[in-house]
Amino acid sequence: MRLPSWGWALLVLVLVLAFNAAFTPGFFGLEIREGRIYGSLIDILNRAAPVALLSLGMTLVIATGGVDLSVGAVMAVAGAVAASLIARPSGNPLAGIDLGGSIPMIVLASLAVALACGYFNGILVSLLGLQPIVATLLLMVAGRGVAQLLANGQIVTFTEPGFQRLATGSFLGLPNPVWIVAAAFGAFSLLTRATALGLFIEATGSNPVAARYAGVNAKRIKQAVYVLSGLCAGIAGLILTADIQAADANNAGLYLELDAILAVSVGGTALTGGRFSLVGSMFGALLMQTLTTTILTRGVSPEITLVLKALIVVVVCLLQSPVFQQRAARVLRRAQA
Amino acid sequence: MNREAMREKLPILITAVVLVALYIGAGLQFDRFFSLRVFMNLFADNAFLGVVAVGVTFVILTGGIDLSVGSMVGCSSIMSAWLMQHAHLHPVPALGIPLLFGVAVGGIQGYLVSKFDLPPFLVTLGGLFFCRGVALRISRESLQIDHPFFNSLASFAIPLPGNASLPVASIVFLLVVVIGMFVAKQTNFGRTVYAIGGNKASATLMGLPVARTLFLVYVLSGLCAALGGSVFTLYTSSGNAISGTGLELDAIAAVVIGGTLLSGGYGSVFGSLLGISILGVVQTAITFQGTLSSWWTKIVIGALLLAFMLVQKAIEGAASFRSGGASPASSN
């Protein structure tokens, strides 16, 4: 039997959870306080939310054969816009805009800016035909500059319970970010599996020339996935900003683009484009966070997480590499003979 | 110009013109910008980035990418500092051991890329996490270095007229650039690097040692990154595990601005030197200006990067138009 592409991610996730079941007391403990569920598992779901959101958009981008390095910076931009619009500190370039303190308007405005960032990436990749790595590198470098410009070079802090609820509130016992991820996952699944968009994305990624002959407008598909990725990054940025009640243009979402790419490739989507798995990316994001939480709860120094991540990248790459599979098969055959 | 010469020379020519224009523009704008001292500082401030960029140039010439260099700089710098301050090693081995570490990490990356045909992007992403993890494991706090030999090495400088000097960081940088230019243009290794970037399959069919060269390219990049870390240590007289964060992107930006195509095959080490100088001029001009904040550097660099990519695209388009539309590098 052949494993689904996300089989490895799920297997490792189960192994890590099994390890915790055996060695970390109380890891699976859940308790309900004030109508809200608490516990390590919920904590993992909650903390995995930003990377999970990023990896949804990233999955589609990678499936078209591209990559979006700018998502971390776009998170910072969205956060800076939201925080500036809420706090409106004097001297801030956005201080003159009065949305009447309406949270939905502020959220919409921030997401619009994130969408614009994604649109910009899309134009560079689809219309101008630039390599995705370089095209998105641009916004990755300049985006943090723009975020600092919008925040006037300061860490903008605010107190706005309505906005904070986005990250700290809960619904039916589960934290809001978990619901946001679930909704985004549902929307993306519908969009790609209930419509032909998923097929078009896979066609664009596996063979752009053939896709064009088959009548797929590859340019528009590419444009669309970068916009979606920008939107996901915007939502993730808002969650992060609401969580810490501040927008830090330098550090918000730093290196999260790499975590998202890692989650996507661990989840079985090949970086070369073509077939993708949104479920796999979710497992990938959960695996990353489960590892981090495991290391923290076991009191191992957190730097080890980075080394572990490095090992996972290499192992997953090897497992997916045809050359390695052939060699491993040869070694196995020799061992049996 | 014929197509090949145009692809080869035009980007670097444009880079050079932009550099001169920026330099003269800034010089006319600000007093004392034209002094030799400011000119030398351009190199000293970015020497570590320059050393890193030389290694990255080779990787990009093969059509690959190395994301691990930034955290390698941090790792190398904290390792040197720790070896001197806590293991009480002499500065020479303390600066040398991180170089071996750079070679080792680069070697592992090169082995994975060349033997198993893994995507360089992911492999070096692994390297990025690994080096940062090791660096933070060594010490979370930055370490000040105080050692008589190290201090005299760090403050060593060749005095120049006009109150200027060529500090040890710049000397290392210029040496690395010269060696890099020689290796790229005058050796079999360098020619193979260009051949792989041009077309890996035909390089293999020509009987060139593709796997070995790819392996060595990542070793070279690891070594340059670690050496960049040593230069950074000398420049700041301290080690810090989080230094070099995001440096890989500055290095890639400098290489691209220097006219090297990210698809590989076209470019030069000298171009990267020009790219670094442009970054340096932009930074210094913004510092001179005084009222503009430092984040403008990022925006200006982003805008320059965009402009250069568009120029490269236009050249590619013009070149493929002249040759009848067949451009192998623009299939994406």
Query: How far is Cα A61 from Cα A264, in angstroms, rounded to an integer?
Result: 10
Nearest to A232, CA basis, from A88, A62, A43:
A62
Beta carbons within 8 Å of A284's beta carbon, 6+ residues apart: A6, A9, A55, A262, A263, A264, A265, A266, A267
What confidence tier does A37 reach under pLDDT thresholds 50, 70, 90? Answer: confident
CA distance readout (Å), A16 to A12, A24, A50, A287, A289:
6, 11, 21, 8, 11
Cβ contact A318–B332 (<8 Å): no
Please tell me the predicted confidence (pLDDT) of residue B229. Answer: 94
Choose from A120, A138, A256, A324 for mutation: most chain B CBs within 10 A. Answer: A138
What percentage of chain A has pLDDT greater than the value 70? 99
Contact A177, A167 (CB under 8 A): yes
B105 Cα to chain A: minimum distance (Å): 12
Q: Which residue has the tokens 């509130």?
A: A169
Residue from the list A137, A305, A311 with its beta carbon closest to the beta carbon of B252:
A137
> Is pLDDT of B330 > 80?
no
Choose from A306, A308, A327 for mutation: most chain B CBs within 10 A. Answer: A306
Cβ contact A318–B116 (<8 Å): yes
- Reduced 3-state DSSP string for A212-266: HHCCCCHHHHHHHHHHHHHHHHHHHHHHHHHHHCEECCCCCCCCHHHHHHHHHHH
> Is pLDDT of B329 > 60?
no
From chain A, pick out residues whose CB is under 8 angstroms from the CB of B293: 148, 153
> Is pLDDT of B181 > 50?
yes
What confidence tier does B151 reach under pLDDT thresholds 50, 70, 90? Answer: confident
Cβ contact A310–B310 (<8 Å): no
Please tell me the predicted confidence (pLDDT) of residue A284. Answer: 92
Please tell me the predicted confidence (pLDDT) of residue A158. Answer: 83
Please tell me the predicted confidence (pLDDT) of residue A303. Answer: 81
What percentage of chain B has pLDDT greater than the value 70? 94
Please tell me the predicted confidence (pLDDT) of residue B3. Answer: 66
Task: Write down the mean pLDDT value for chain A.
Answer: 86
Nearest to A109, CA basis, from A252, A232, A234:
A234
CA distance readout (Å), B169 to A312, B53, B235, B242:
36, 14, 7, 20
Residue A64 token pair: 């078209």
Residue from the list A134, A145, A324 with its beta carbon closest to the beta carbon of B299:
A145
CA distance readout (Å), B222 to A58, B69, B129, B189:
28, 7, 14, 17
Size of interface A-B (CB pairs under 8 A): 137
From chain B, pick out residues whose CB is under 8 angstroms from the CB of A138: 302, 305-306, 309
pLDDT digits 0-9 by tens, A160-197 = 887 888 888 888 888 889 999 999 999 999 999 889 88
Query: How far is Cα B239 from Cα B143, in angstroms, rounded to an integer?
Result: 5
Cβ contact B123–A317 (<8 Å): yes
Contact A54, A233 (CB under 8 A): yes
The average pLDDT across B258-280 equals 89
Indicate the residue type of A7.
G
Q: Which residue has the tokens 């351009």?
A: B42
Cβ contact B125–A272 (<8 Å): no
Contact A121, A68 (CB under 8 A): yes
Please tell me the predicted confidence (pLDDT) of residue A250. Answer: 79
The structure's pTM equals: 0.85
What confidence tier does B210 reach under pLDDT thresholds 50, 70, 90? Answer: very high
What confidence tier does A149 reach under pLDDT thresholds 50, 70, 90? Answer: confident
A263 Cα to chain B: minimum distance (Å): 11
Burial of A206: CB neighbours in 10 Å, binned 0-12, 13-18, 19+: middle
> Which has the minimum average pLDDT: A88-97, A164-173, A317-326?
A88-97
Please tell me the predicted confidence (pLDDT) of residue A1. Answer: 44
Residue B69 token pair: 């260099």
Comparing alpha-carbon positions, the chain B residue that sits nearest to A129 is B332
From chain B, pick out residues whose CB is under 8 angstroms from the CB of A307: 129-130, 133-134, 137
DSSP at A3: P
Residue from the list A135, A153, A310 with its beta carbon closest to the beta carbon of B126:
A310
Cβ contact B65–A306 (<8 Å): no
> Is pLDDT of B331 > 50?
no
> Is pLDDT of A3 > 70?
no
Burial of A75: CB neighbours in 10 Å, binned 0-12, 13-18, 19+: buried
Beta carbons within 8 Å of A169's beta carbon, 6+ residues apart: A175, A176
CA distance readout (Å), B285 to A71, A86, B26, B39:
29, 34, 6, 11
What percentage of chain B has pLDDT greater than the value 90? 41
Complex ipTM > 0.90: no
Nearest to A324, CA basis, from B67, B113, B65:
B113
Indicate the residue type of A202.
E
Query: How far is Cα B157 from Cα A173, in angstroms, rounded to an integer?
Result: 65
> Is pLDDT of B328 > 60?
no
Please tell me the predicted confidence (pLDDT) of residue A2. Answer: 58
A89 Cα to chain B: minimum distance (Å): 18
Cβ contact B118–A146 (<8 Å): no
CA distance readout (Å), B41 to A238, A265, A333, B21, B280:
41, 43, 62, 19, 9
A295 touches chain B (CB under 8 A): no
Angle between helix A49-63 and helix A218-244 axes, rounded to 10 deg: 170
pLDDT digits 0-9 by tens, A209-235 = 888 888 888 889 999 999 999 999 999
Task: Write down the mean pLDDT value for chain B.
Answer: 86
Residue from the list B127, B136, B262 with its beta carbon closest to the beta carbon of A134:
B262
Please tell me the predicted confidence (pLDDT) of residue A286. Answer: 93
Stronger pLDDT, A99 or A121, i.e. the higher one? A121
What confidence tier does B4 reach under pLDDT thresholds 50, 70, 90? Answer: low
What confidence tier does B13 reach under pLDDT thresholds 50, 70, 90? Answer: confident
From chain A, pick out residues whose CB is under 8 angstroms from the CB of B332: 65, 129, 131, 208
Which helix (H) or strand (E) segment is B89 a member of?
A: none
Residue A195 token pair: 């419509």
Does the CA dihedral A87-A90-A95-A100 come out positive or negative? positive
> Is pLDDT of B225 > 60?
yes
Burial of A297: CB neighbours in 10 Å, binned 0-12, 13-18, 19+: middle
Residue A42 token pair: 């919920």
Give the Cβ contact number of residue A298 at 10 Å. Answer: 13
Cβ contact A323–B116 (<8 Å): yes
What percentage of chain A has pLDDT greater than the value 90? 28
pLDDT digits 0-9 by tens, A234-259 = 999 999 999 888 888 878 887 888 88
The average pLDDT across A189-209 equals 89
> Is pLDDT of B326 > 60?
no
Residue from the list B137, B302, B309 with its beta carbon closest to the beta carbon of A141:
B302
The average pLDDT across A91-104 equals 76
B249 Cα to chain A: minimum distance (Å): 7
A149 touches chain B (CB under 8 A): yes
> Is pLDDT of A119 > 90?
yes
Beta carbons within 8 Å of A200's beta carbon, 6+ residues apart: A211, A216, A221
Contact B279, B78 (CB under 8 A): no
The average pLDDT across B93-101 equals 93
Residue from the list B116, B256, B299 with its beta carbon closest to the beta carbon of A142:
B299
SS3 B144: strand
> Is pLDDT of B7 > 70?
no
pLDDT digits 0-9 by tens, A275-284 = 888 999 999 9
> Is pLDDT of B332 > 60?
no
Stronger pLDDT, B120 or A303, i.e. the higher one? B120
From chain B, pick out residues whose CB is under 8 angstroms from the CB of A321: 116-118
